[in-house]
Structure 1
Amino acid sequence: SDKPYKHEISNTVEGLKLSWQRWSNDHSEYQKHNPFSTNRTLMVKIQKGEESYGRPKEGSKTEQRGKDAHTHIGKEVQELCSIIKSIGESREDGKTVVEFGKLFEKYVTISNKVVGVLLRARRQGLVAFEGEMLWQGRDDFVLITLL
């Protein structure tokens, strides 16, 4: 509810009772949407296919954390691409390539998530490389192409 829990006459027994009841009602409503609540009979079920299925509640802290993480990873992907451009070699087709080992050495001083960021960049169609996963040492000579 939009009303503050503190009643205008919170020092009276009636005011405290109203404030407590409002909090209790709000908490019960919240628990209906909490998948970890022990009271399963009250739970509101979201069905597969619904727009909100698998997504945090709109306006929640969880939703905001997800947006913040998405923005942060986006910046890391951009930074990775700029590093590839700066340390890589330009080819005749205009694309820039760099060996994974060279990229790993340069980028690991910035972030230890180089492989994860590379996989994200590939999913976004920004880079290409052979194989599903890259391993330091084993895949040092695999070419990473900036698209």
Structure 2
Amino acid sequence: MGTNSQSSTILNSDDDIPAPAHLSDDTAACFVSVKGLKENWQKWSHEHQEYQKHNPFSNNTRPSVEVPQRGQDDYGRPLQGSMTEQRGKDAHTHICREVQELCEVIKNIGEPRDSDGEVIAVRFGKLFEHYVTISNKLVGVLLRARKQKLVDFEGEMLWQGKDDHVVITLLQ
């Protein structure tokens, strides 16, 4: 507990009005933290209002804000520097790592298909049994690897059990 003179020097508003002299230091500290909360809320509110002015789905959109149209480079893309953009980049990096890991697994457990030993292939059933301990997203990663022309296989989708005989070829 402090003295009344200590608590009266703590300011509790923008008008520089001292806290009441009869309050303890703990109570006076609440005035300071409430002031900080108020300032933080005001700051967030102002930033949110500015953001909403540029949000095309907000009722507060200024008519002068240009909304990207189909065909423009930034159409359907998050704002540069936003958290959404960063999450997208992080997801892309993670998926690329999983595709590389899948190619390494195919290289390790696959068998050479030609006399040179350059073309490596593995059956889906064998790959599934081995890869299930690594990830539960094998088919999705295979589809992504095929889109990037790293692997090739017949069919549009692979199903466990039904497509265990399908040969997956490593292209690179």
TM-score for both structures, normalised by structure 1: 0.80
Equivalent residue, structure 2, for 1:3: none
Aligned length: 137
TM-score for both structures, normalised by structure 2: 0.69
Equivalent residue, structure 2, for 1:130: 154
- Quote the offset at 1:13 in angstroms: 4.7
Equivalent residue, structure 1, for 2:72: 50
* 1:2-27 deviations in Å (ceiling 9; x for gaps): xxxxxxxx94259x9x9988765532
Could you list the structure 1 runs, at least 4 aligned residues long, displaced by more than 2 angstroms after superposition: 18-29, 32-44
Whole-angstrom CA distance in 2 between matches of 1:135 and 1:91: 23
Whole-angstrom CA distance in 2 between matches of 1:141 and 1:20: 61
- CA change 1:19–1:100 in 2 (3 A) is closer
Larger radius of gyration: 2
- Alignment of 1:103 onto 2:105: no
- Quote the offset at 1:45 in angstroms: 1.6
Equivalent residue, structure 2, for 1:81: 103
- Quote the offset at 1:96 in angstroms: 0.4
* 1:98-128 deviations in Å (ceiling 9; x for gaps): 0001101111111000000000000000000
- Alignment of 1:28 onto 2:49: yes
C-alpha contact 1:100 1:140 (8 A) present in aligned 2: yes
Counterpart code for 1:12? D
Percent of aligned pairs sharing the same letter? 65
Equivalent residue, structure 2, for 1:146: 170
| Structure with bigger RCO (C-alpha 8 Å, 6+ apart) | 1
- Alignment of 1:61 onto 2:122: no
Counterpart code for 1:53? Y
- Quote the offset at 1:47 in angstroms: 1.1
Secondary structure of 1:98's aligned partner: strand
